[in-house]
Structure 1
Amino acid sequence: MQLDKTPKIVILCNGKFAIPAIQILGIEKMLCGIGVGDADASFVSLIHNECERAQIQFNHFPSKDKVSELRSWLDKLQPDYIFSICFPFRVDRKALAYRENAFINFHTGPLPEFRGPMPIFEVLRYGKEDTAITVHYMSENFDEGPVIFEERIPIKNNDTFGSLALKLSEVCGYTAKNMAQMIQFGSLIPSFPQQDKEARYFEYPEKEDTQIRWNQMSAQEIEALIRACNPWNTGVEAILDNRPVRLLSASTTDLKHEVLPGQCLGLDEKRRLIVSCKENACIAINVLQIDKGFCSADEFFLSSRQISGKNPANTLLFSNLTK
């Protein structure tokens, strides 16, 4: 459907990830409403105040029950399209019937390979080389509607959940603008069905998904999981020197060992904590969180030696390590 006017768009969102898209569509005078899900109170207040200032309609949908009022709100606003950006709730059949193909979702991962609420976590966890903002029509089932287009983004070796989310947020902003321009100036918006044989749906990560199992995970898997959990989960849960910790930064290393996985072997020349993994591999830990707060690897190692009564000066323990 080609529009002979600037499109009226509603954005459904749940946090600051959507801010670039909100800003861009606001500048283009395309926004007529913003609906926020169960976001934290500070974000809800921020968007509410900005909507009042810009004379844009605002609504808050803090629960699944409240989403049942979405259709009546849309009937009042009469938007041309509704853009969903990380909206946390399923949109029911009544709302989707507002108009055919009016709901467009901006998914933060490739489809259909990474369906689900946390694709940023999953692509990092599985060590993928790139990811995408995938734009697709919404259906009653999460992430299953026909794909309109996708914008691919490379993943760097040092990307964390936080850094990748920031990049995707910016890409989502100009992708939303591109989609709005397609709506305004295109007589036909092409799309193609997803290949269900390639589909995989990932549920929200459970506690066990964010814990290190030293005797089961490779150094590469551990390093990838640490990046995937930083900062949203405040790192990965682990046990080191019989102490519960969270690991926030680590690197793989060429060092080898001959001890059981999960042992603290010492500090290397960069003051990183060397820990044994399966298959005689090692990983170098940079930053941890312990009970008293964040600490560097050498601070943790020295404090562990003091607690255990071992000589804290003996910090370079490479008798069991080889290149």
Structure 2
Amino acid sequence: MRIGIVSNSDSFIPMAYTLAMQQLQVHIFLSPAKDAFVQQKVKAFVQQTKLPFTEERNADKDLYTWLQKGNYDIGFILVYPHLIRLERLKNHPARLFNIHFGVLPGFKGPVPVFWQLKKGLDKIGLTIHHLSSKIDDGPMAWTKTTDNLPHYNYQLANQVLSQLCIEGVVFVLHLFINKLPIPEIPTNPNDTAYQKRPQLNNVLINRQTMSAIEICNLVRACNPWNKGALTWFQQQEVKLMDAQVISAIDSADNLQADTIINDDQSLHILCKDGKLINVNMLFLNDCFVPAYDARQWGLNKGIQFGLQDLTFKQ
């Protein structure tokens, strides 16, 4: 059996390795990743495994040529940045499936993991669906969720889902090999929501509206790709790279949200709901700054994050 895998991410590696170890003929088509490290990691993987590998040079035609000439039996697309026009593949016999790291149809869009973490869902999930002419559309063949654990950040959640998708791919392949019908589960159009690529306001901590847990969720969703959730200090960008809800305080009436109330070995920051978050690492002036050094940067007890620093009130 000839299996084609299309991606521009390193998330396909666990799946491709698993299938190759089953003596299946796996062929890789890579659209160049923007991240040079990801590109290097993928090329190291194909060199080590000696899997057939094609790198996209012309986004308008290379994929279609590769699919037509490859004569694949089945194909899986995982994080491909371009809409695949099925009308150009009318004579292509392969069954094509898209692997989407979000539960459909509520998390359509290019970065569903970000939004699942930011929204603080109890579960994160993925969907394998029949490829259609629309983005993240088509009947579902398989879907699964897993617990959204407190230590998951954006990168780790992607890694978890890249492992979890193997189960779904094996399920689809088992049905295909045995000539059994592959499910075509319709989605409820009333649940459809497209989640756009995060913009500045989506990664910015809003002290007027965000609770402590919402800030922690945003920090996890922004780490490591954005080096944390964004706030301000002396008109400079500061990013919180980790955050954990630790407690509430009784005498918060005279304090403003986003105020540092402890600057000892870590920063304790007051949130609008009266709870504290504990921060151990920041990103400031292109430097990774541990909280125990924050005083050296002027981040002292009484300082308030935001566009204007306020004096701490005893």
Task: Kindly indicate whether residue 29 of structure 2 is the aligned counterpart of residue 35 of structure 1.
Answer: yes
Task: Kindly indicate whether residue 256 of structure 2 is the aligned counterpart of residue 263 of structure 1.
Answer: no
Write out per-residue CA displacement over residues 18-58 of structure 1, whole angstroms, 9 at most, x where no aligned residue.
11011011112323421111314554455456556766432
Corresponding residue number in structure 2 for 1:23? 17
Q: How does 1:153-172 map to 2 (within 5 A)?
A: 153-172=146-165
Residue pair 2:238, 2:283 contacting (<8 A) in 1 also: yes
Residue pair 1:108, 1:168 contacting (<8 A) in 2 also: yes
Residue pair 2:10, 2:42 contacting (<8 A) in 1 also: no
Unmatched segments (≥5 aa) in structure 2? 303-311
Instruction: Pick which of 128-137 and 283-292 moved more.
Output: 283-292
Q: How does 1:266-285 map to 2 (within 5 A)?
A: 266-267=262-263, 271-285=265-279
CA, structure 1 residues 305+112, in 2 after alignment: closer, same or farther (shift >3 Å)?
closer
Task: Kindly indicate whether residue 114 of structure 2 is the aligned counterpart of residue 121 of structure 1.
Answer: yes
Corresponding residue number in structure 1 for 2:195? 202
Which ranges of 4 or more aligned residues in structure 1 deviate by more than 6 Å? Answer: none
Normalised by the length of structure 2, the TM-score is 0.86
CA, structure 1 residues 164+48, in 2 after alignment: closer, same or farther (shift >3 Å)?
closer
Tell me the number of residue pairs that the alignment of Structure 1 and Structure 2 aligns.
Answer: 302
- The AA in structure 2 aligned to 1:21 is M
Unmatched segments (≥5 aa) in structure 1? 1-6, 309-317
| Distance of 2:269 and 2:234 partners within structure 1 | 10
Q: How does 1:150-299 map to 2 (within 5 A)?
A: 150-240=143-233, 243-252=236-245, 253-256=247-250, 257-258=252-253, 259-267=255-263, 271-291=265-285, 293-299=287-293
**2:125 aligned to which of 120, 125, 132:** 132
| Distance of 2:32 and 2:42 partners within structure 1 | 13
Corresponding residue number in structure 2 for 1:313? none
Write out per-residue CA displacement over residues 162-214 of structure 1, whole angstroms, 9 at most, x where no aligned residue.
22122111112343233222211242112111111001111111122111122
Residue pair 1:241, 1:263 contacting (<8 A) in 2 also: no
- The AA in structure 2 aligned to 1:212 is I
Residue pair 1:260, 1:276 contacting (<8 A) in 2 also: yes
Q: Report deviation, 1:287.
A: 1.3
Residue pair 1:250, 1:283 contacting (<8 A) in 2 also: yes
Instruction: Pick which of 222-231 and 87-96 moved more.
Output: 87-96
Q: How does 1:30-179 map to 2 (within 5 A)?
A: 30-39=24-33, 40-41=35-36, 43-44=38-39, 47-48=42-43, 51=46, 56-61=51-56, 66-99=59-92, 102-179=95-172
| Distance of 1:205 and 1:98 partners within structure 2 | 37
CA, structure 1 residues 239+46, in 2 after alignment: closer, same or farther (shift >3 Å)?
closer
| Distance of 1:193 and 1:48 partners within structure 2 | 37
Secondary structure of the structure 2 residue equivalent to 1:231? coil
Alpha-carbon RMSD across the aligned residues, in angstroms, is 2.8
Normalised by the length of structure 1, the TM-score is 0.84
- The AA in structure 2 aligned to 1:120 is V
**2:8 aligned to which of 9, 14, 18:** 14
- The AA in structure 2 aligned to 1:264 is I
CA, structure 1 residues 67+33, in 2 after alignment: closer, same or farther (shift >3 Å)?
farther
CA, structure 1 residues 305+235, in 2 after alignment: closer, same or farther (shift >3 Å)?
closer
Residue pair 1:20, 1:172 contacting (<8 A) in 2 also: no
Write out per-residue CA displacement over residues 106-132 of structure 1, whole angstroms, 9 at most, x where no aligned residue.
111111111111111111100001111
CA, structure 1 residues 96+215, in 2 after alignment: closer, same or farther (shift >3 Å)?
farther
